[in-house]
Amino acid sequence: MLPRPNLDYPVTREFPSKFSTAAFLGATVVVIFLVVINVALVGYNTVTQFSSDFNVTQHFWYDIFIPSIAQTTPGTLCDARLLQLGDTVTTNYTLFQYVVALIDQPNAGDAGLSYRGWTLENCDIAALFFNADGSTFSIDYTALVACRATDVQVAAGNDFEITLRADWSQSLLQGKYTSLLGVQLALRTSARVQQRP
């Protein structure tokens, strides 16, 4: 059996053993509590996270130890993004990369568009251009998409009007680069399927 340590003070007198046990148990509980709280609070740092969902929240195992004032609420993990001319955006389908070509009516400053997670629902194809090149067996496409705020967004004070531009190319040549994100993935998948015996 292990000897039980006694808390004593050499100048005066010994503590009674019942207080020694209580002191060791109390100190152990307090140290464990402080270690868990310290790990939880030190791990609660702001980090950059990329997500396709603007209103994403991040949950950790130590959230139950964080005071309710400091806990995240839905929609607070992502900040509003200020889109300017030339910025590249993609939609949920990730087939095309769009470039902000024109901001007719900005909602952030004189020439910016503040994006806060809403969807582009009021969009029309304003123009579609294509150029065929017989020497490379390719067709280059340019699409201009005009988007306006919906009535609900205008009522909420989020009035805007922008034009997005998407450029892509298609070719019959195998080595020709394509700028379609979804087509690149589909071509790699179909090539693997065709190679199987």
Q: What is the pLDDT of residue 96?
A: 81
User: In terms of pLDDT, which residue wins out, 2 or 160?
Assistant: 160
User: Does 177 or 91 have the greater pLDDT score?
Assistant: 91
Which has the higher per-residue pLDDT, 15 or 108? Answer: 108
- The CA distance from 174 to 143, in Å, is 24
CA dist., res. 102 & res. 160, Å (int): 11
Summarised one tens digit per residue, pLDDT across range 108-163 is: 878 888 887 777 788 899 999 999 988 888 888 999 999 888 888 888 888 888 99
Predicted structure pTM score: 0.55
In this predicted structure, the answer to whether residue 196 has a pLDDT above a threshold of 60 is: no
Q: What integer pLDDT is reported at residue 192 of this predicted model? A: 44
pLDDT band at 177 (very low <50, low <70, confident <90, very high): low
Angstrom CA distances, 185 to 111, 122, 143, 163, stand at: 35, 29, 21, 27
Within the chain, how many helices (H) and strands (E) appear?
A: 3, 7
What is the predicted pLDDT for the residue at 190? 46
What pLDDT does 120 receive?
Answer: 79
